[in-house]
Amino acid sequence: MSLRKTLCKLLGCNAPQANGVPLVGFYGDSLTAGTIEGTPNNTMAVPPVRRLNELAGGAIYGISYARPGATVALALEGGHAMPYGPWASHVQRAPEHWMVLRFGGADYVVGTPGDTLRPQVTTLVDQARAAGKQPILVGVPNLLPGIQGVDDLLRDLAAQMAVPFIELAHVAVGPGDQPDGIHPSQALSDRIAAEMVRQLLPIVREG
């Protein structure tokens, strides 16, 4: 059964909406998957997209396609156990209209150069748009020294491509917010999710 048919069977949907609620796909790395080392299955108790759904109060229905370690290159090729195969094919059959692209963290960790990352993200956006989807780029919070450069690149690219951009650089990160030294704690992840919902819902409502 196709992904679209499976989701519609579960949700009673007529894609891209489930009972009138917009479907939103969330794509990204461990920051979106909810990875945190030292916990059961190395996953936080309430992963980000589940928390987003709770905080949205039924205004959207989020679907997580995120995988720990997912770079933009892996997302494009469908590698690293990505759940949907090559991006160009996936966007043609994905049930959601809104695609929240929250990459950059894993790219920063593995050292993807900016002049490589920029065209890769451009391809993600272009292929989503060509399939009739609405991509949304998401910045990265200040979790690691120097990661602001990735955030600046994504913000600049969103402006150039006239893509909605969700700002996260201002979310406060304090002592104890990164128990494994990299990933957000549950509390910080929840604060980030709340900020994403605050900015995302008006984007979806305004279409």
Residue 80 has what pLDDT?
Answer: 66
Backbone φ and ψ of 156, nearest 5°: -65, -45
Above 60 in pLDDT, residue 100? yes
Span between the terminal Cα atoms of the chain, in Å: 30
Confidence of residue 5 (pLDDT cuts 50, 70, 90): very low
- DSSP state letter for 40: G
List beta partners, residue 25. Answer: 63, 99
- How does DSSP classify residue 35? B
What pTM did the predictor assign?
0.89
Name the packing angle between helices 148-161 and 114-130 (round to 10°): 40
Weakest mean pLDDT among 46-50, 66-70, 134-138: 66-70
* C-beta separation of 115 from 149 below 8 A: no
The sign one gets for the Cα dihedral 34, 35, 40, 41 is positive
CB atoms within 10 A of CB 110: 11
pLDDT surpasses 70 at 125: yes
Note the pLDDT tens digit of each residue in 141-190.
999 999 999 999 999 999 999 999 999 999 999 999 998 888 999 999 99
Query: How is residue 142 written in tokens?
Result: 């200040």
* DSSP state letters, 6-22: HHHHHHT-BTTEETTEE
Asked whether residue 6 carries a pLDDT value surpassing 50, the answer given is no
Q: How confident is the model at residue 203 (pLDDT cuts 50, 70, 90)?
A: very high
Contact criterion met (CB below 8 Å) for 55 and 71: no
Task: Report residue 88 as tokens.
Answer: 């160009």
